[in-house]
């Protein structure tokens, strides 16, 4: 008989924020750091990513920190630099964390190809792995996975749907 896990579940707060492109789900830890940001219509995927990164997760309705909500609202109102004011914390493999941290360095209003990001992190042949890590990014918008595009400039894959990706890029001044 397999042994049962005695690891307790991790508890995070869950809040919702209305945005021009849907209701954003904000998952925060006890210190108020953002652990996940996804869209209400993709809640199942978000919960699965949390499970993969943290094991059993207990989400309790709890307001996100006011300064985080203000920064996100500011971003959606056109103050693009507000995202850098948001405290975040990530789990994941060392490679995933490297990719996600590199995403945070892509300035608003710019895009990179998956290959360019792979080169930027010193692993130019890891294009597919960068794509997989990007697809597992738990903190949409703040870790701007929407700024990665195909080598030919095309919009490719976005966990929140291509219409949201297109909106986010246009919002940042990129013709998509």
| Tens of pLDDT, residues 114-133 | 999 999 999 999 999 999 99
In 3D, which of 136, 142, 167, 8 has the Cα closest to residue 64? 142
Q: Determine the pLDDT at residue 7.
A: 63
In this prediction the pTM is 0.91
Instruction: Give the CB-side neighbour count of residue 71, counting CA atoms within 13 A.
Output: 17
State the Cα angle at 137 between 62 and 63, rounded to 5°: 10
Q: What is the pLDDT of residues 40-97, one digit of tens each?
A: 999 999 999 999 999 999 999 999 999 999 999 999 999 999 999 999 999 999 999 9
Active site residues per annotation? 145
Rounded mean pLDDT, 100-122: 96
């Amino acid at each position: 008989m397999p042994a049962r896990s005695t690891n307790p579940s991790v508890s995070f707060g869950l809040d919702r924020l209305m945005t021009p492109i849907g209701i954003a789900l904000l998952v925060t830890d006890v210190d108020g750091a953002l652990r996940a940001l996804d869209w209400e219509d993709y809640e199942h995927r978000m919960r699965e990513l949390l499970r993969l990164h943290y094991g059993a997760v207990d989400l309790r309705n709890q307001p996100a920190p006011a300064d985080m909500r203000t920064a996100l609202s500011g971003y959606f109102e056109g103050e693009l630099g507000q995202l850098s004011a948001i405290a975040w914390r990530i789990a994941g493999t060392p490679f995933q964390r490297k990719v996600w941290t590199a995403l945070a360095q892509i300035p608003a209003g710019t895009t990179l190809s998956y290959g360019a990001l792979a080169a930027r992190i010193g692993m130019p042949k890891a294009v597919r792995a960068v794509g997989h890590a990007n697809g597992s990014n738990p903190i949409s918008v703040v870790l701007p996975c929407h700024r990665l595009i195909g080598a030919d400039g095309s919009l490719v894959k976005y966990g929140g749907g291509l219409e949201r990706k297109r909106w986010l890029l246009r919002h940042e001044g990129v013709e998509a």
